[in-house]
Amino acid sequence: MADLLILTHDDCLGHDMGEGHPECPDRLRAAWAAIGDRPREAAPRATAEQLARVHPAAYVEAILAIRPEGCDRVALDADTIMSAGSAEAALRAAGAGVRAVEAVCGGQHRAAFCATRPPGHHAEPARPMGFCLFSNVVVAARHAQAACGVTRVAILDFDVHHGNGTQACVEADPSILFISSHQMPCYPGTGGAAETGVGNVMNLPLRPGAGGAAFRAAWEAALPRVTGFDPGLVIISAGFDAHVRDPLAQLRLDEADFAWVTRAILAAAPGVPVVSMLEGGYDLQALEASVAVHLTALETA
């Protein structure tokens, strides 16, 4: 059994929100640089049925129907814009998680990493926001439950921004545990510790300027919840924008912190299949370095 499956697709370069937008195609190229010469598999498209396990069918149809011509773009909100290639990229980003779940739950690989874009953890059931169109991690989780025999899924999010979309999709479902560390106050303004869903949500807000010590202490306190939950699958929302170099927030992590949290997650769920999906990370140098250590840690799973 190969240790690590890497899923990506050239179509994810076609999502272009315009010059100067931080969520740019070069983010994917930075991830590819970190992947290096590791084998890669082409991410498939998610199907409408797979997306509709999370999003209303009318919402899925509306998003996929937005296919501007040429260099035209359509703004869904102040931050989230679709270009001619955005719908295809979004299908590949969600489809990567579906394929990854099938591979790790089927025993072909111990872990998988999805190097795709757009990210997904801000997308609510019927609302795109924060650069995100579909809730990629929840689409993957629902596929694991519907098609792979998994009962309980833990979604763990260390992006610097709260995964409000993920939380909105799962907060009423005790079969999914959602834990998120994030800067607060910060976009999108959610993620307080009092937000607990039906007991399945654990938010770990960190003050601006917090560094690795506070980040590690928060996760050390939270990870016993994962062990006690006894998941059949762990999905990581792997955002690297808590890095000290990142321009969109003010946490002060470095590559060693991302390597540590990856190893800590694996240790909290020994032997459990793991899928990691790229979320944020907007300084290209920091993103490449952080993905590199994350992959090395996943390879030791």
Asked if pLDDT for residue 1 goes beyond 50, the answer is: no
Domain CATH number, residue 149:
3.40.800.20
Average pLDDT over residues 268-292: 98
Average pLDDT over residues 86-91: 98
With H, G, I as helix, E, B as strand and everything else as coil, classify residue 300.
Answer: coil
Burial of residue 135 (number of CB atoms within 10 Å: 0-12, 13-18, 19+): buried
Summarize pLDDT for 25-71 with one digit per residue, the tens.
Answer: 999 999 999 999 999 999 999 999 999 999 999 999 999 999 999 88
Catalytic annotation on 122?
Answer: yes
Smallest CA-to-CA distance from 151 within 68, 229, 79 is with 229
**What gap in Å lies between CA 170 and CA 154, rounded to an integer?**
11
Summarize pLDDT for 95-122 with one digit per residue, the tens.
Answer: 999 999 999 999 999 999 999 999 999 9
What is the reported pLDDT for 2? 59
188 with 122: CB under 8 angstroms?
Answer: yes
Identity (one letter) of the amino acid at 54? V
Per annotation, catalytic residue among 55, 121, 122, 162: 122
Smallest CA-to-CA distance from 212 within 161, 266, 252 is with 252
10 Å Cβ neighbour count for 37? 5
Domain hosting 158: range is: 2-299
Place of tokens 């929840």: 138
Place of tokens 């579909």: 134
With H, G, I as helix, E, B as strand and everything else as coil, classify residue 195.
Answer: coil
Rounded to 10 degrees, what is the CA torsion of 45, 23, 34, 231? Answer: -60
Q: How confident is the model at residue 125 (pLDDT cuts 50, 70, 90)?
A: very high
How many domains, the chain? Answer: 1
